[in-house]
Structure 1
């Protein structure tokens, strides 16, 4: 990995909406390694509940296996009141590399869009940037 600051995500909460257990586990381990508190969920209702109770700094949402679920989740987030998490920055992960897929995700309210497999160092640095943390 290129990121040398192993505490780059220290103090940050990251909510991951993912329905692939193996990929979820790897992503969770990497983000935890960099100091993040990782909250995981696989269902829209659970994700919305955890968003409001745990108040994460960044959302990561998989659009791979069930893209409708990912878009439903973000649509619901963007329709929450501001104090309930509406403006939480979100990153989309997808298997689709077409420009149209990226444009659709950004239009839906994601701040960043990455094709899988994403370099985990890039994901870590993106999360830190969206949360306002910079490497030391």
Structure 2
């Protein structure tokens, strides 16, 4: 069973995403902020990380920067799931090493497709 780490500061979005992914057969870990997400990624070593961009304290850009800098987490596929959708933000996210970018509110099938593409 693939392990997914969700880093999302919005409780409702986080809980809904956890539930959706568990129903699709994933093992899911969640973090409510970037700091907690970085720590959990290093400890849990998930198969993939889903992360919001706009979060207090440590935003999604800093999360990916820190995770890509550590050998333990550098190769973990990373998908941004965020309400931000400006072309410049998508380009920046991809240049920082994200594997995909999914806009909220997301279509469940699109999210699962992007996750599966990371494992192909």
Same fold (TM over 0.5): yes
1:15 and 1:60 in contact (8 A); partners too: yes
Structure 2 residue corresponding to 1:112, chosen from 94, 100, 118 = 100
Runs of 4 or more off by more than 6 Å in structure 1?
none
1:95 and 1:115 in contact (8 A); partners too: yes
- Aligned partner of 2:78 in structure 1 is 90
Q: How many residues align?
A: 120
Q: CA deviation at 1:67?
A: 9.1
Query: Is 1:130 aligned with 2:118?
Result: yes
Tell me the TM-score normalized by structure 2: 0.91
Q: CA deviation at 1:99?
A: 1.1
1:1-21: CA deviation from partner (whole Å, max 9, x where unpaired): xxxxxxxxxx10000110000
- Aligned partner of 2:91 in structure 1 is 103
| d(CA) in 1 for partners of 2:75, 2:94 | 14
Unaligned runs of 5+ residues in structure 2 are none
1:64 and 1:93 in contact (8 A); partners too: no
2:2 and 2:47 in contact (8 A); partners too: yes
**1:102 match: secondary structure:** helix
Query: Is 1:12 aligned with 2:2?
Result: yes
Q: CA deviation at 1:105?
A: 0.8
1:65-124: CA deviation from partner (whole Å, max 9, x where unpaired): 54951111111000001xx11111111122222211110111121110121111011101
Structure 2 residue corresponding to 1:75, chosen from 48, 55, 65 = 65
- Aligned partner of 1:27 in structure 2 is 17
Q: Which has the higher contact order (CA 8 A, sep 6+)?
A: 1
**1:16 match: secondary structure:** strand
How much is the aligned-residue C-alpha RMSD, in angstroms?
1.6
| d(CA) in 1 for partners of 2:98, 2:55 | 18
